């Protein structure tokens, strides 16, 4: 039941936000197909990320001899955040985003539209992830305050992908650097978020018959780490979308249209 509630709330909250984001571009907006396709294909990024999860996990074990969740709690928290979540999930979303960009390649006009695409892929990813992981009231309450995280990561990805194309058609900056940032900026932010929000310390008392004072302290530290990241991100997301609304016109002005013919020749 909690999973269904989480799915519905996610659909309503991010759906309204996404619809508003489209209007921020101005009177000349993306089409309905351009708006919906990245959300639909974003759903597929979840199973795709699981494939990458298996590949990365097997590679990690083959190289190191242990799985990411082994070892001291803090190290395991970092390894799990990076190798079991950030790398595979952001890679899956990047691939889906690039597919959508290729499908409508001749119709994307500016950097802001690239941000909409990657943000919409994050929207689709969130729908499935929230349905799967919002088990029980606790899971629902923990995930709901940061429901836009994947969309924000997508916006960062889309901004750098858009700047990569803008630099390519204008010759004003590095294309390779922006492509690298399109992947590694979301990976870094994702890793930091999961390191705190999904740290292993909060599970110190799991499968333990007797809760010692040390285990209790470890659990409290883990809970503190969760609050350290969840509360600031909850506040930060309001700032991000207010700033995006304010800067939408500037991002839209970073247009590919003036040099569209040069783009098609390259």
- 227-238 pLDDT tens trace: 999 999 999 999
Whether 45 has a pLDDT exceeding 50, the answer reads: yes
State residue 50 phi and psi, 5-degree precision.
-65, -35
User: Are 78 and 196 a contacting pair, CB within 8 Å?
Assistant: no
pLDDT band at 266 (very low <50, low <70, confident <90, very high): very low
pLDDT band at 27 (very low <50, low <70, confident <90, very high): confident
pLDDT band at 261 (very low <50, low <70, confident <90, very high): very low
Whether 129 has a pLDDT exceeding 80, the answer reads: yes
pTM for this entry: 0.92
State residue 180 phi and psi, 5-degree precision.
-65, -45
pLDDT value of position 168: 95
CA dist 124 and 154 (Å) reads 11
pLDDT band at 142 (very low <50, low <70, confident <90, very high): confident
pLDDT value of position 136: 67
- 169-208 pLDDT tens trace: 999 899 999 999 999 999 999 999 999 999 999 988 887 7
Give the chain's mean pLDDT.
92
Whether 1 has a pLDDT exceeding 80, the answer reads: no
User: Are 153 and 126 a contacting pair, CB within 8 Å?
Assistant: no
Whether 133 has a pLDDT exceeding 90, the answer reads: no
pLDDT band at 91 (very low <50, low <70, confident <90, very high): very high
Q: Give the pair of three-digit tokens for residue 35.
A: 């708006």
Q: What percent of the chain has pLDDT over 90?
A: 82
Q: What percent of the chain has pLDDT over 70?
A: 95
pLDDT band at 258 (very low <50, low <70, confident <90, very high): low
Cα–chain-centroid distance for residue 158? 11
pLDDT value of position 141: 74
Rg, the chain, Cα only: 20
Q: What one-character-per-residue DSSP string does 221-241 give?
A: HHHHHHHHHHHHHHHHHHHHH
- 109-127 pLDDT tens trace: 999 999 999 999 999 999 9
Task: Tell me the domain boundaries of the chain.
Answer: 1-24+31-253
pLDDT value of position 264: 39
Judged by DSSP in three states, 110 sits in strand
pLDDT band at 265 (very low <50, low <70, confident <90, very high): very low
**Does residue 23 or residue 258 have the better pLDDT?**
23
């Amino acid at each position: 039941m909690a999973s269904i509630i989480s799915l519905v709330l996610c659909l309503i909250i991010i759906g309204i936000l996404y619809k508003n984001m489209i209007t921020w571009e101005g009177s000349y907006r993306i089409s309905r197909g351009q708006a919906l396709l990245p959300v639909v294909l974003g759903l597929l990024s979840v199973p795709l990320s699981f494939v990458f999860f298996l590949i990365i996990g097997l590679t990690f074990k083959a190289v190191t001899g242990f799985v990411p969740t082994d070892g001291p709690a803090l190290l395991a928290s970092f390894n799990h955040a990076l190798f079991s979540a950030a790398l595979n999930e952001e890679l899956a979303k990047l691939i889906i985003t690039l597919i959508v960009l290729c499908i409508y390649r001749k119709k994307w006009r500016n950097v802001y539209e690239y941000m909409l695409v990657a943000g919409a892929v994050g929207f689709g990813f969130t729908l499935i992830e929230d349905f799967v992981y919002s088990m029980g009231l606790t899971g629902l309450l923990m995930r709901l305050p940061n429901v836009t995280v994947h969309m924000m990561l997508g916006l960062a990805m889309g901004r750098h992908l858009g700047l990569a194309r803008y630099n390519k058609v204008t010759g004003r900056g590095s294309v390779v650097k922006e492509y690298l940032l399109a992947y590694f900026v979301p990976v870094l932010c994702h890793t930091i978020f999961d390191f705190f929000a999904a740290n292993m310390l909060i599970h110190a008392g799991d499968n333990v018959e007797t809760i010692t004072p040390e285990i209790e302290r470890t659990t409290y530290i883990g809970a503190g780490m969760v609050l350290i990241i969840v509360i600031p991100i909850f506040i930060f997301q309001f700032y991000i979308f207010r700033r995006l609304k304010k800067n939408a016109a500037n991002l839209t002005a970073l247009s590919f249209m003036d040099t569209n013919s040069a783009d098609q020749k390259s």
